[in-house]
Amino acid sequence: MNRRNLSDLRGAARLAVDATVGVTDLVEKMHRTIQMGHAPVGDSRAGTTRGLTGLIYRTIRGTTRLVGKGIDAGITPITELLPAGTSNETRNLIVSAVNGVYGDHLVATGNPLALEMSLLYQGQPASSEQPGFVIDQSDSTVLTGKVMLFIHGLCLNETHWSSDGCNHGQELAAELGYTPLYLRYNTGLPIADNGRNLANLLESLLRGWPHPVSELAIVGHSMGGLLARSASHYGHVAGHDWLRHLHRLVSIGTPHHGAPLERGGNWLDYAMSLSPYVAPFMRISTKRSAGINDLAHGNITDIERDFVSLPSNVKCYAMAATLGKKQTRLAEALTGDGLVPLDSALGKHKDAGRTLMFPEHHQWIGFETGHLELLGSPDVYTQLRDWFE
């Protein structure tokens, strides 16, 4: 047993308490709706139940919270007495997925499972203020002046860039001399919040880089592409210096104009809210994190559906995929890569004023390729290498 294990246990216990209280609220509201004999359609006026029934529900909530506080209070003092411990890949994958779904809730409740934004180099944490310290002096690898940052998508983490025996970062480092860094972050937070944090982190990173930086390139998969654009936007607003080093920005399977599956989820929420008998269940369906909700329309700022053009003086590239064997309008509109339509990934919009101006020779389409398959696609790597050469 180590400190990491107990910290995870505390986080899981808090989530279990929150879930139990939430389900109790849901059942009570449904109970009250039935008691009031509501019409099948219309806004619900149901609140909490009364009398003995209300006392029972309050007792369940109170007891659950009391048990949760007892567990937390019992574990906390012991945690500090144990060795720090290390994370394993399975644990990191689970925590990344939980952060994608509940990340904003984890932060709001101070849950220790909430991820903090960090950089990694060859699997090891890299200080943004003193990045040179991550290098083992016995290793022949050295930091170069060409920095490439890889940003993963929703519910994923940096290990997903090593897929099907392919690691785009390591291969570009070997062939073209880039230093690959990987971002780990809480994908459940609003993209705008992560964008501001990344902009500040990059400002600190390049200021402390041990060599003159000749080029910064960012490669983002899915949500990662939106985060890269958000960081560029907020870096510009803050007048950051790192933007003058940004030469290339590549988005891979990024829903620049949103993902219809998430928009479909929002329509489902609306339909469910029409009936007071179904509305309580929205407490479950609307528990999607702010990060997931931002994917509905590709939001990258605090203003919903705010249009932000591509950063100026930066070579911007878009990679998209379709599950079909060839390019057809039906496949593009309905499936794309299984999650993101082709037009959205290429920045195209029916309103010309909202189209992202990726040059034609900076666009690439992969066929018979799914959203996650882009991460380990040899064709993707070949195109990246050609562009970066």
CA angle, 266 then 152 then 381, to 5°: 120
**How many Å separate Cα 60 from the centre of its chain?**
34
Query: What's the whole-model pTM score?
Result: 0.79
Distances (CA, A) of 186 to 6, 189, 292: 20, 6, 11
10-14, 202-206, 251-255: which range is least confident on average? 10-14
Residue carrying the six token digits 């990726």: 358
What residues does 220 pair with on adjacent strands? 151, 251
Give the pLDDT mean for 274-295: 63
Which tokens belong to 162?
A: 């090593």
Task: Specify the residue for token string 């209280």.
Answer: 21
CATH superfamily of 118-259+295-388: Alpha/Beta hydrolase fold, catalytic domain (3.40.50.1820)
In this model, does residue 331 exceed pLDDT 60?
no
Mean pLDDT on 160-165? 85
What is the mean predicted confidence (pLDDT) over 117-124? 90
For residues 39-62, one letter each, b for 16 or more C-beta atoms within 10 angstroms of the residue's C-beta and e for the rest, the string is eeeeebebeebeeeeeeebeebbe
The residues of the chain that CATH labels 3.40.50.1820 are 118-259+295-388
The whole-number pLDDT of residue 320 equals 96
Give residue 5's pLDDT.
59
CB under 8 Å to 91, separation ≥6 — which residues?
4, 8
Res 268: pLDDT: 47
